[in-house]
Structure 1
Amino acid sequence: MHIPSSHRLRALGLAVATLTAGCLPGGNAFAQAAYPAKAITIVVPYPAGGSNDTFARQVAKELGDELKQPVIIDNRPGASGNTGTAQVAKATPDGYLLVAVSSSMTTNAAVQSKLPFDPVKGFAPVAMFAKGPFIVAVNNDFPAKTPAELIAAIKAKPGQYNYASSGSGSVNQFGTELLKAKVGDLQIAHIPYKGMGPAVTDLIGNQTQLLVSSGPSLLPMVRAGKLRAVGITSLKASPIAPELTPMSTAVPGYEFELWWGLLAPAGTPPDVVAKLNSAVNRILAKPAITANFLREGAIATPLTPAQFGTVIADDVARWKTLARQQNITAD
């Protein structure tokens, strides 16, 4: 009978150990490929062309380069963003289907009692993209050029002026009602429109007198001389429009900013979330991205997943309180 050499015995032992390790939990022989091993899809729950879509596409292009896998944008609009967002909430939590949302998700939660997802518990926060203040604009006939003059003019004629929004329960209404709540006795009626276009048109025509909305919605009209901007809703002067005075100079503590960010389904592995967060934050540090976001009225805002989760939870609670206080309801 032939007895194997010690060299052959060692080789045989190594082969058995390798096969055994592959069959045991934690073994590497049959382990899944490192994330990401295939294309990633980012759902944008709105039509192409809006701010969610713009920021998601800019990040997706860079994210594909960072992760060495294609990152695909899939627009799934419907139900004020709820349709596409709900589809991601119900998806397999493996990091391959994500959703790009904005703070309108939290204002929706404040006025819609039966959302098809939980905005706090239904997702794993991945990364914030950006934040951006609103512009406070009036028509050219309105007797105010500064935040203090705006408040004084409305108080001088209580109930005689109207403010516009893109719809009942919209972020524009929340921004204006927060201003009213901070002042305490600002009597100006709400006129909801079906979209920002007609709201801006009627503001120019003096059918309404005030509109609080994003920089891209208002600044082109302001710079064309068709509207007057009286302030900005950041606590301090903003690079979005550094020439504008913060409303907080006349209304202490008033601040209203939109945010945009990326979510994964709840239960997504923490290491996958961490890898995505790190990649997005590297992207946000690129000067070209910072400049592009600024042109769209937003400031790149890198956060950890935990910090982003706190923002979402705090906003949901805050807007629910304001909706009850100011009687804000959905269409």
Structure 2
Amino acid sequence: MTLFDGVYPFYPQQRKPVVFDVDLIIVIIVFLVIAFSFLLILPGIRGRARLFWLLRVITSLFIGGVIVAVQFTSDWESGRVTANTTYKSFSPDVVYADVGVHIGLAGVNITLLGKPVGQLNETINYNEHFSWLFGKDYDHEFQEGLERGLPNPILYAAEKFSTLSPCGMHGQYRIAGHYASATLWVAFCAWLISNMLFSMPVPEYGGYMMLVTAAFLIFALLSFSTVRSSSSCVIHFGSASLQAVYGSSFWLTLATGLLCFLIGAVVILLHYVRPDLLRAIFDLCEEDEEEEGTLGEVYINPHLAEIKTLSSQPHFKLTIKNS
């Protein structure tokens, strides 16, 4: 729908701001249910193995949850600026608001929050998502935003990431996010294999796979960081400029990668220095003792043992009388 030779009108109705991503909530719930299920069976584990199992499972679920959750977050890069900016198209009205750009692997979230929220008899609180995943059309979503009459600051920031923008940020972030996401899924597969190896009598191989997990997490960060080295446009709002910096998801992924490297290095070091301690941590000593006890304990009739002892003496003769 157009008005006056292709100029889109502004519609005063506004959407509810997005607070949480549904996919992210599902991931968090799944891992919390797994952790809660393990806590229910934890009292059935006896001795010091209970503490070792608790640390192992909680740490492993944290690593797996982070690897999957950061795929759906929108704060790998974040930037915010406070400025006086025009609010509607073809209107001189100016609002004082925070404009935020939150970049993830799958797209960008652009926020607009008035200070105060109520200005011009409206509630200025927007959170709009524009996706650049393969199979989705970023320009089409931007066009829909024009038709809905989104505020000028959101459309201005979103236009910088479109394919028609001379900045070229769309292709850079799209390719970088695609390769970072693929590398994270490889890290998730390595994490699954490491957990299977840790449950076997060869925990040192699990340590090696944890190093592989850490390596792919670092590769994902390097893939995303390639955008920073390329030239990009600066988003200006009057005299203020919006500069994006690494967000919490980026640093959380880096911390998880370092944690995986630390776990893998400690497991391999213990394998060569203190193998007995490593087997105790992974609850392998008690299993060995139980196997040895099961195979080693044999019931011997004391009367047969006495006959065997007498038969070994010289001049011993066993006589069996028939009744």
Larger Rg, first or second structure (1 or 2): 2
Q: Which bracket does the TM-score occupy, shorter chain normalised?
A: under 0.3
Relative to the length of structure 1, the TM-score reads 0.27
Normalized per residue, which structure has more helix? 2
- Determine which structure has greater relative contact order: mean sequence separation of CA pairs < 8 Å that are 6+ residues apart, divided by chain length: 1
